[in-house]
Amino acid sequence: DVKVTQSSRYLVKRTGEKVFLECVQDMDHENMFWYRQDPGLGLRLIYFSYDVKMKEKGDIPEGYSVSREKKERFSLILESASTNQTSMYLCASSLFTGQETQYFGPGTRLLVL
Amino acid sequence: QQPVQSPQAVILREGEDAVINCSSSKALYSVHWYRQKHGEAPVFLMILLKGGEQKGHEKISASFNEKKQQSSLYLTASQLSYSGTYFCGTGSLVVSARQLTFGSGTQLTVLP
C-alpha cells in the first residue's frame, strides 16, 4: 500500500511566522503535490514537483514556496503566514504512468492567528 | 478551471440510489473519483480513461462520456458507509500530463 505521511495533523501559527509543512511518501513516486482544501472550493493545487529539485506552480502559488531535495520528501513553505492561509493542506503523490492516480496524506489543518 | 460537480449536496436514506455528475470545459483523457470521509484523506475509488468505458466497484460504478467531457458516479442501494464528500479529478492534456484538476466536491449523507 502507498503511504503518504504529513508531519503534523494540526498546527497553530501566528501571522508573519514562517511555516514548514512536510510530506513523505514511501513508494518511489515521481510526482508530488500540495493542495489546499477549503469548504465549497474543493482541492486547489498550490505547487507540484515531478522530480527532485523540480517544481511547477499550480493554480494558487502566491504566498507559498516548495522544496524537494529528496525524491520521497516534498515541503511546503509559507514564507510569512497570513490569516487567509488558514486551511487544510493535503499532500499527494503519484507515479508517472499516464493515468496519474494520486494518493493522499491525512492532511494538516493549519490555523493562522 | 475546475470541473463542475452536481449536485453540491445530497441526502439519502439507506438503500436509495444517487448520481453525482462531473463536467469539464476541457478535453479529457481521464476522470478519477475519490471519496473523503470527515477528517480523513481522500481515498481513490476508480479511474475512467478515454474510450467511454463504464466501471464498477461493488455498488458504485461510473461512466465517462469523452465527447461531452462528462462523467457520472452511480451509487446503488446506498449504505451508511457511503457518506462522505465525493470529488472528481480530471486529467487533461491541455493542462498537464501529470496533473489532476479537482471539482469542488459533492457531500453525500446517507441516513438510516
Q: What is the largest CA-CA distance in chain A?
A: 41
Q: In chain B, which residues have their Cβ closer than 8 Å to the Cβ of A43?
A: 42, 87, 89, 102
Residue B56 has pLDDT above 70, yes or no: no
> Are the Cβ atoms of A106 and B40 closer than 8 angstroms?
yes
The per-residue pLDDT for A78 is 97
Contact B41 A102 (CB under 8 A): no
8 Å CB contact of A104 and B42: yes
Looking at chain B, the whole-number percentage of residues with pLDDT higher than 90 is: 60
Q: What is the pLDDT of residue B27?
A: 84
CA distance B1 to A44: 10
Section A31-47 average pLDDT: 93
What is residue B94's predicted lDDT score, i.e. its pLDDT?
62
Tell me the helices (H) and strands (E) count for chain B, helix number first.
0, 11
Nearest alpha-carbon partner for A25 in A91, A82, A111:
A91
Residue A6: other Cβ atoms inside 10 A: 19
Nearest C-alpha neighbor of A66 from the set A85, A53, A83, A51: A53
What value does the mean pLDDT of chain B take? 89
Each residue of A65-81: pLDDT tens digit?
Answer: 999 999 999 999 999 99
Residue in B38, B99, B104 to test binding to A, most A beta-carbons within 10 Å: B99
Query: Cα-flanking dihedrals φ and ψ of residue B82, to 5°?
Result: -80, -10
Q: Which of B49, B91, B104 sits opposite A42 (nearest CB)?
A: B104
Are A50 and B99 inside 8 Å of each other by CB? Answer: no
| Calpha distance B17→B76 (Å, rounded) | 5
Q: Is B32 on the interface with A (CB under 8 A)?
A: yes
Any CB–CB contact under 8 A between B89 and chain A?
yes
Give dist(CA B67, CA A47) in Å, integer. 30
Mean pLDDT within B2-16: 95
- Whether the CB-CB separation of A32 and A74 falls below 8 Å is answered with yes
- CA A83 to CA A13: how far, in whole Å? 9
Among A4, A100, A103, select the one facing B91 at the smallest CB separation: A100
Say if residue B5's pLDDT is above 70: yes
Does the pLDDT of residue A35 top 80, yes or no?
yes
B101 touches chain A (CB under 8 A): yes
Cβ–Cβ gap B32/A102 under 8 Å: yes
